[in-house]
């Protein structure tokens, strides 16, 4: 009888202890960072449906182009993305297809 009581108590104790497991999923977004080298306005098309404009930068004292939006991150979906960059005369400067993981940033150097 004592053996059965101890076994029952141990069974209740061990079945009452469980493991709590949680999964935290971050936003499924990635980011693009553009480095411009010339005083031009660029048009960027992402995945043939999202379009935005990178305003021209300005040079100071014959130094490299200074851009007020140089630290601006543009949000895109994580995964495979296609990007096209056009200059102000609508000439294709860059076309690239790349994979970018969630919460990663791809840095793109513009010509």
Q: Give the start-to-end residue ranges of the domains of the chain.
A: 27-109
- Closest Cα partner for 36 from 70, 60, 82, 72? 70
Question: Is the model more confident about 63 or about 54?
Answer: 54
Which tens digits make up the pLDDT trace of 17-48?
A: 566 667 766 678 999 998 876 677 889 999 99
Under a CB-based contact definition with an 8 Å cutoff, are residues 98 and 106 in contact? yes
Under a CB-based contact definition with an 8 Å cutoff, are residues 37 and 64 in contact? yes
- Which CATH code fits 27-109? 2.60.40
């Amino acid at each position: 009888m004592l053996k059965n009581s101890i076994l029952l108590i141990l069974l209740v104790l061990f079945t009452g202890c469980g493991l709590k497991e949680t999964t935290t999923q971050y936003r499924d977004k990635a980011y693009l960072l553009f480095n411009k080298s010339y005083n031009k306005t660029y048009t960027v098309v992402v995945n043939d449906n999202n379009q935005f404009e990178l305003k021209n930068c300005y040079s100071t004292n014959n130094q490299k182009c200074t851009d007020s939006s140089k630290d601006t991150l543009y949000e895109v979906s994580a995964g495979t993305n296609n990007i096209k960059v056009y200059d102000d005369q609508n000439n294709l400067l860059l076309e690239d297809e790349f994979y970018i993981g969630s919460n990663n940033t791809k840095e793109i150097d513009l010509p």
